[in-house]
Amino acid sequence: MPTPTAVADVELNPAQRRVVGHGDGPLLVVAGAGTGKTNTLAARVAALLTRGVSPERILLLTFTRRAAAEMLQRAGRLADPASSRRVWGGTFHAMGHRLLRVHGAALGLDPGFSVLDQSDAADLMGLVRSEQAASTHTRFPRQDTLLAIYSRVANTQRPLRDVLTDAFPWCATDAATLAAIFGEYVERKRAQELLDFDDLLLFWARAAADPCVGERLAGLFDHVLVDEYQDTNTVQAEIVQAMARRAAGVMAVGDDAQAIYGFRAATVRNILDFPAVHPGAAVITLEENYRSTPSVLAVANAVMAEAPERHDKQLWSRRPDRHRPCLVHCADETTQASAVCDTVLAHHQEGVRLQDQAVLFRAAHHSDLLEVELGRRKVPFVKYGGLRFLESSHIKDLLALLRILDNVYDELAWFRTLRLADGVGPATARRLLASLGVRPRADAGSTSADRLRHVMAQTPRSARAELGALAEALAACGDEAHVEPREQIAQLRRALDPIVRRSYHRPDARLHDFEELEHLAAAYRSRGQLVAELVLDPPAGTGDLAGPPLLDEDYLVLSTVHSAKGGEWDAVHLLHAADGMFPSDLATGRPEEIEEERRLFYVAVTRARDHLHIYFPLRYYHRRSGLDDAHHYAQLTRFLPDAARDLFDTRHAGLASPEPPVAPGTVRVGVGAEVSRALQDLWR
DNA sequence: TAGTCCGAGTTTTTT
DNA sequence: ACTCGGACTA
According to the model, what pLDDT value does residue A681 have? 35
Measure the CA–CA gap between A613 and A630, rounded to whole angstroms. Answer: 28
SS3 content of chain A, % helix, strand, coil (to 5): 55, 15, 35
Q: CA-CA distance, A631 to A628, in Å (whole number)?
A: 9
Check residues 60 to 79 of chain A and report those whose beta carbon is under 7 Å from nucleic acid strand B.
63-64
Residue A631 Cβ < 7 Å to strand C:
no
Q: A72-99 burial string, b = 16+ CB within 10 Å, else e?
A: bebbbebbeeebbeebbbbbbbbbbbbb
Identify nearest nucleotide to residue A622 by CA to C1′ distance: C1
Whether A425 CB is under 7 Å from strand B: yes
DSSP string, A474-487: HHHH--TTTS-HHH
pLDDT at A602 over 50: yes
Chain C bases closer than 7 A to any CB of the protein: 1-2, 4-6
Q: Please state, as a whole number, how many other Cβ atoms lie within 10 Å of the Cβ of residue A35.
A: 26
When pLDDT is averaged across residues A638-649 and rounded to a whole number, the result is 89
**Residue A548: predicted pLDDT:** 37
What are the residues whose beta carbons fall under 8 Å from the beta carbon of A195, sequence distance 6 or more?
A: A100, A113, A114, A115, A116, A189, A203
> CA-CA distances (angstroms) from residue A379 to A216, A358, A511, A527?
53, 13, 25, 37
pLDDT of residue A621: 72
Cβ of A138 near strand B (under 7 Å)? The reply is yes
Peptide bond into A440 cis (omega under 30): yes
The answer to whether strand C lies under 7 Å from the CB of residue A143 is yes
Among candidates A514, A516, A578, which has minimal Cα distance to A546? A516
What's the confidence (pLDDT) of residue A386?
Answer: 62
Signed CA dihedral, A467, A470, A475, A479: sign only: negative
Please name the nucleotide lying closest to A135, CA to C1'. C5
Please name the residue ranges forming H helices in A88-159: 92-103, 118-131, 143-156
**Is A365 within 7 A of strand B by CB distance?**
yes
- Strand C and A624 CB separated by under 7 Å: yes
pLDDT at A537 over 80: no
Query: For A325-331, what is the mean pLDDT?
Result: 92
- Chain B nucleotides near the protein (CB, 7 A): 1-2, 8-15
Helix (H, G, I), strand (E, B) or coil at A598: helix
Please give the nucleotide, over all strands, whose C1' is closest to the CA of residue A584.
B12
**Closest C1' nucleotide to A540's CA:** B14
From A73, A105, A93, select the one nearest A9 (Cα to Cα).
Answer: A73
* A4 has a pLDDT exceeding 50: no
User: Is the pLDDT assigned to residue A207 strictly greater than 60?
Assistant: yes
- Is it the case that residue A153 has pLDDT exceeding 60? yes
Statement: the CB of A232 is under 7 Å from strand B: no
pLDDT over 60 (residue A680): no
User: If you ran DSSP here, which 8-state letter would residue A28 be given?
Assistant: E
Q: How far is the CA of A450 from the C1' of B12 (A)?
A: 44
CA of A533 to C1' of B8 (A): 39
Least trusted range by pLDDT, from A89-103, A259-273, A378-392: A378-392
Q: A303: pLDDT confidence band, cut at 50, 70 and 90? A: very high
How far apart, in whole angstroms, are the C-alpha atoms of residue A676 and residue A684?
Answer: 13
Q: pLDDT for A58-82, tens place per residue?
A: 999 998 888 888 899 999 998 888 8
Which of A347-361, A486-500, A592-606, A616-630 comes out lowest in average pLDDT?
A616-630
Q: Give me the pLDDT at residue A294, please.
A: 94
For nucleotide C2, the protein residue with its alpha carbon nearest to C1' is A623
